[in-house]
Amino acid sequence: MDVILDVDTGVDDALALLLALRAPDVNVRAITCVDGNVDVDSVVTNTLAVLDAARAPQIPVARGCPQPLAAERIHAQQVHGCDGLGGVRLADPGREPVEAHAVEVLRRTLLDSAKPLTVVTLAPLTNVAVLLTCYPELADRIDRMVVMGGSAGFGGNDSVAAEFNLLHDPEAADIVFRSGVPITMYGLDAFYEVTVDTETAHGLSGSTDPAGALAGSLLLAQAQRFATREVTIGDAGAVAAAIWPEHIDTDPHHVRIELHGAHTRGSTVVDQRARRGILAGRASGAHNARVVWSVDEAALRETFLTA
Ligand code: BDR
Ligand code: CA
């Protein structure tokens, strides 16, 4: 499977990168960076450093949008630490990002591919929204977009109602969800389900594979930060869901992004009436996303650990 990853690395983005690098039959064609958990320059540095630490091949890494389209910038250092990697120190990266902007790298990678690609977004949707605004015809070059973002029944994390990636740039999310690209929404309903316990993380941190060892250290850093014995693999779950869709349960829905609510800006409004057998009322629009309602968490954890 050929994929492009859009990231705001981030502890769990790092776990996702490591999984994508080690998963069998996955070819990461490009990695695009965006402002999110930390500023975009730190995202680029963290991404390159993680790839180096895992002794990854020279996958193109591109710097993308440094701020949301219209929203005030927010970051998530309370979750990922000041550096974005939970205090896990890595060597300075041995290379620079490519010169081209992330939007250009997305465009070229999609056009250069013989077949439509899977795009997995683990971050605010700014880069992808700019791409689809400038080049709407490229929607056809995207086979499926797995979006880590939003929530259907869970509520929010960064605010009571909204998930961080979509709250960071609601206007971008709105553009992407209305673009016609086939979306799988891997939201908070799944995000917190797939966890690794500290004993397993300890085992991983002693791995002879540098990617496994780094994954273990990142998980242990988060266990310490949150004083917990179970740590979510977060964004890595979205990558696992993209690779092994047989381990997720999805339903098609009409999903809109709330752009105005006093308490709900950035949240996902998922029309669940048909799923609940409520057939009266006004139609809200065509299905534009498959929402991940539940996951086989044991199976997804196993795919992560095995990789
Ligand atoms: C999402 O926000 C970020 O903090 C994580 O990396 C994840 O992509 C969870 O809301
Ligand atoms: Ca992320």
The verdict on the CB of residue 37 being under 6 Å from ligand 1 is yes
Atom 10 of ligand 1, nearest CA residue:
164
Query: What pLDDT score does 285 carry?
Result: 86
What is the complex's ipTM, to 2 decimals?
0.98
Atom 9 of ligand 1, nearest CA residue:
164
Q: Give me 55's structure tokens.
A: 């002794």
Residue 185, pLDDT above cutoff 90 = yes
| Rounded Cα–Cα distance for residues 257 and 133 (Å) | 17
**Tokens 């990002």 -> residue:** 97
Query: What pLDDT score does 131 carry?
Result: 98
Ligand number nearest to the C-alpha of 234:
1
Torsion, Cα 239 84 175 114, to 10 degrees, reads -40
Residue 280, pLDDT above cutoff 80 = no
Element (DSSP H or E) covering residue 269: strand 268-270
**What separation in angstroms does the CA of 77 have from each of 39, 66, 73, 83, 158?**
10, 16, 13, 8, 12
The verdict on the CB of residue 38 being under 6 Å from ligand 1 is no
Listing DSSP states for 168-214 in one string gives H-HHHHHHHHTS---EEEE-HHHHTT-EEEHHHHHHHHT-SSHHHHH
Torsion, Cα 11 17 18 21, to 10 degrees, reads 180
Q: How confident is the model at residue 277 (pLDDT cuts 50, 70, 90)?
A: confident
> φ, ψ for residue 198 (rounded to 5)?
-65, -30
Query: What pLDDT score does 82 carry?
Result: 87
The verdict on the CB of residue 64 being under 6 Å from ligand 1 is no
Whole-number Å distance, alpha carbon 277 to ligand 2 midpoint, is: 34
Angle of the 210-225 helix axis to the 11-22 helix axis, nearest 10: 160
Give me the half-sphere count of Cα atoms (radius 13 Å) on the Cβ side of residue 140. 4
Mean pLDDT of 39-66: 97
Mean pLDDT of 264-285: 88
The verdict on the CB of residue 164 being under 6 Å from ligand 1 is yes
Whole-number Å distance, alpha carbon 43 to ligand 2 midpoint, is: 10
Ligand 2 (single-atom ion) residues, CB below 5 Å? 8, 10, 13, 122-123, 235
Query: What pLDDT score does 218 carry?
Result: 98
Whole-number Å distance, alpha carbon 208 to ligand 1 midpoint, is: 28
Whole-number Å distance, alpha carbon 257 to ligand 2 midpoint, is: 19
Ligand number nearest to the C-alpha of 157:
1
Residue 265, pLDDT above cutoff 80 = yes
